[in-house]
Structure 1
Amino acid sequence: MRKKRVLLLSEGFGSGHTQAAYALAVGLKQLCPNISARVIELGKFLNPVMGPLIISAYRKTVSSQPKMVGLMYRSNYKKPTNRFAQLALHRVFYTKTSQVIAQLKPDLIICTHPIPNTVVSRLKRSGLNIPLYTLITDYDAHGSWVNPEVDHFLVASDEVKQRLVEKGVQKDRVEVTGIPVHPNFWNIHTKEEVQIQYELKDIPTVLVMGGGWGILYEDNALSYMTKWRETTQLIFCVGSNEKMKEKMLADPLFQHPNIRIVGFTREIHKLMDAADLLITKPGGMTCTEGMSKGLPMLFYEPIPGQEEENCEYFIQSGYGEMLTSNDTVDRWFHLIHNREAATLFREELMLKRNLQYDPMRCPKAVLQFMQ
């Protein structure tokens, strides 16, 4: 008997969509070895020349004109992708999607980005007879996710479920599963383990992240943190942004034994176990990973739209606050230097996490639906 095949389709507009797809794929295979799961960034796969160029243009727009990105997000917030746009996407970029599906013969398709979700929904209207699940990777529900052909929506919270229902989705088609994180985040490493591996000191430690595209070097608050470098360990993760890494390494502000500049790494889960505080842009995936570790979080410069919604969710849930000033930095750094208070706060966050989030819930829900 052949293995059940799951095809997970994503896009590279930000790293979170594809990370969620891989996290779910690995989780499914760990829970059920009789499953074959493949992740594809559909646009890049079908258009290896144009795909990366479009993503690069989007990245520059996000960096230089975030308000425009927010305006576009809000202007179509309540509306599904219209039929003309669906047809244009299909004709220009995704004409061979049906061939890919026919070749891979999946038993289930899961989309972690609205574009492949829209493309596959259109194919289902034309006769494709494969179940389609949609995993929404933020703490919001934009109208572009909504298509009547989707069999099940997998969402982060009750609030996201309610927003889908308000957009006309039937309640029984929406399952609150949380956003899946890679199984590496399911397990906890002791601080001592990570400190030995990375040659870190046993002092209060702050992990600073900016998503897969790297942090903003010019941010005043990030520079201000270095004033704490004599008593605080600072780990700056700049992702795949090698130019940013070189700039920071050349800056005297960041040249100190207690400061680490880290590029792309697959061991963020370990660095989170070593940290006492996470400072990050509020991408849905990074925030969920931080929550899975019970880390207090400070959020800076959310992209208007979904990152603002992510930020609001985690602040209201008590996991942290916006980084609005240097006073915010001082207040939270003072907190993690008070070991008793910091330990108590982490214990409270872990209790909240256990009530709100189970990292295995999403892959378990998919397996249950498949059965």
Structure 2
Amino acid sequence: MKIILLSMFSVPTGHVKVAEVMQQKIKDKHPDAEVKIVDFLSFSNQWLENAVSGFYLKWIKAFPESYKRFYAQLMMSEEYTGMLKSFSVFSIYFEMKLKKLLEEESPSHIICTHSFPSRILGKLKKKSPSFVPKTVNVYTDFFINGVWDKKNIDYHMVPSSEAKDELIGQYSISSDRIFNTGVPVSNIYKDGKPVKSKTAVSGRKHLLVAGGNNGLCVLNEFMMNPSGTEHFKYTVLCGHNRELFDQLSGIPNIIPLMYIEDREELNAIYDSVDAIITKPGGVTITEVLNKRIPIFIHDYLPGQEEVNLEFLKEKKLVYLLNSEDPLEIITNVLKDKREMNDYLVRLQQYLSSISTCVDESLSTLLKVNQEDALVKPSLNNAGVTKTIFN
């Protein structure tokens, strides 16, 4: 058995983290399987990958409204607008690259954790009636954007019941091809305990500040506020932002950390904090939801994080901070026992709506080429059950 995981960039984005999680889960259950993560853009053209990944963040920082319009027109549209038609010309080049990869590797399964390789894979599969590998989309946000190929992909691991209903209702995809797993994260984060204060003897609340891999969301102003130092201490995930790390180093109430690869280490940090201030990225939010940590959103990137935020707001799974007095909001929420209990109820309702275990779903999908019947796992109060679909 040979599985190719198609991500997009070589930099550690959420799409890459999910690919790594999927790779580990496959190897845990199938140690003899050959599992390879391919950064699709860098595989296709290393220079292009470097240019696109660098330009992407600069564009968002410098012209957020422009990027927001681009995302709405291209990423959220199923129709071939003028922009999407122009973009599709380049897909021929990427189809050739992907075809070459598949001829060289001859995988039994292809799993996409990014919408762009999914789109290219779907085009290639549509043109090849005898296409052998089974294909899977693994969605890494709380919604499905318009670039993902839906109809030509065999199976879908979706983030929510709403996403499953969308695939069934709008794209006529059979429900037995859809697994409502939530955004896949490591099992190490699945041992969330009920929300309780982890405040040290000093009486200060411990807040985790996460800004994504590039340290984009950092609240220097209020972290260094005199009243903040009295009531809070901070651990700041700086990602690969060395300038930010150096800036925060040496400040008594702040512990800055560079990018953390070790999941055990990150899990220990999650266990030590009272709340997190972060952006609404699909992977980080899912990890924290499983840890039952109160989530405060102060900022977000235009595009996918903005759409994620709407989903999270509707479910009341996050608290929004304003720029006037974010510390007061955090203090009031954390000390309100009734609100914390209500938050736990809402959180549990969401987690309970995830009807399928990632590990069991993955095991099922990897057996598809070996069995005529699809054995589909589901979760109920008694645990994991299996239902056979012919």
Sort the TM-score into its range (normalised by shorter chain).
0.7 to 0.9
- 1:160-187 deviations in whole A, cap 9, x for unaligned? 2233345424242332111100233234
Shift of 1:265: 0.9
Give CA-to-partner distance per residue, 1:249-298, whole Å, 9 cap, x none: 3xxxxx43321111111232221111110110111111111111111101
Residue 349 of structure 1: how far off its partner (Å): 6.2
CA RMSD of aligned residues (A): 3.1
Amino acid at match of 1:89: S
1:211 Cα deviation from its structure 2 partner: 1.0
2:103 counterpart of 1:96: no
Structure 1 gaps, min length 5: 250-254
> Cα distance 1:221–1:51, how it changes in 2: closer, same or farther (>3 A)?
same
Contact 1:9/1:112 (CA < 8 Å) preserved in 2? yes
CA contact (8 A) 2:6 2:114 kept: yes
Paired residues of 2:7 and 2:19 also in contact (CA < 8 A): yes
- What residue in structure 1 maps to residue 4 of structure 2? 7
Does the C-alpha gap of structure 1 residues 225 and 328 become closer, same or farther in structure 2, counting only changes over 3 Å? same
Q: Specify the alignment match of 2:384 in structure 1.
A: none
Partners of 1:214 and 1:327 lie apart in 2 by 22
Find out whether 1:214 has 2:212 as its counterpart. Answer: no
* Letter paired with 1:240: H
Contact 1:9 1:39 in 2 (8 A): yes
Label 1:163 to 1:260 Cα distance change in 2 as closer, same or farther (>3 A). Answer: same
Q: Distance in 1 between matches of 2:353 and 2:224?
A: 34
Kept in 1: contact 2:205–2:233 (CA 8 A): yes
Change (3 A) 1:241 1:311: same
Q: Is the Cα contact below 8 Å between 1:80 and 1:145 reproduced in 2?
A: no
Structure 2 spans left out of the alignment, 5+ residues: 368-390
Q: Pick the aligned partner of 1:180 from 160, 179, 184.
A: 184
Give the fraction of aligned pairs with identical amino acids, expressed as a percent: 21
2:260 corresponds to which of 260, 265, 270: 265
Deviations 1:291-334 (A, max 9, x none): 11111101122223321221122233232222223434312234
Counterpart of 2:291 in structure 1: which amino acid? K
Alpha carbons 2:298, 2:321 under 8 Å: kept: yes
The answer on 1:137 being equivalent to 2:140 is yes
Following superposition, the deviation at residue 97 of structure 1 comes to 2.0
State which drifts further: 277-286 or 157-166. 157-166
Tell me the equivalent position of 2:383: none
Q: Secondary structure at the match of 1:279?
A: strand
Do the aligned partners of residues 354 and 71 (structure 1) sit closer, same or farther apart at CA in structure 2, a change above 3 Å counting? Answer: closer
Q: Distance in 1 between matches of 2:308 and 2:189?
A: 20
What does residue 252 of structure 1 align with? none
| Residues 14 and 38 of structure 1: CA distance in aligned 2, closer, same or farther (over 3 Å) | closer
Alignment match, 2:358? 362
Give the aligned partner of residue 113 of structure 1: 114
Query: Which of 27, 38, 41 is matched with 2:39 structurally?
Result: 41
Residue of structure 1 equivalent to 2:371: none
Q: Distance in 2 between matches of 1:163 and 1:14?
A: 29
Output one character per residue of 1:145-164: Cα deviation in whole Å (capped at 9) or x when no partner. Answer: 13421111211012222333
| Change in CA separation of 1:31 and 1:276 when aligned onto 2, cut-off 3 Å | farther
Residue aligned with 2:6, SS: strand
| SS in structure 2 of the partner of residue 236 of structure 1 | strand
Of 156, 160, 164, the match for 1:157: 160
* RCO comparison, higher one (Cα < 8 Å, 6+): 1
| Residue 238 of structure 1, CA deviation | 1.2
Matches within 5 A, 1:301-316: 301-316=299-314
Q: SS of the counterpart of 1:331? A: helix
Say if 1:10 and 1:320 are closer, same or farther in 2 by CA, change over 3 A: same
Match of 2:294 in 1: 296
Residue 334 (structure 2) pairs with residue 333 (structure 1): no
The question of whether the paired residues in 1 share the 8 Å contact of 2:217 and 2:279 is answered with: no
Distance change >3 Å, CA 56–CA 201, structure 1 → 2? farther
- CA shift in 2, pair 1:84/1:315, >3 Å: closer
Given that 2:193 and 2:291 are in contact with CA atoms closer than 8 Å, whether structure 1 keeps it comes out as no
Aligned length: 354
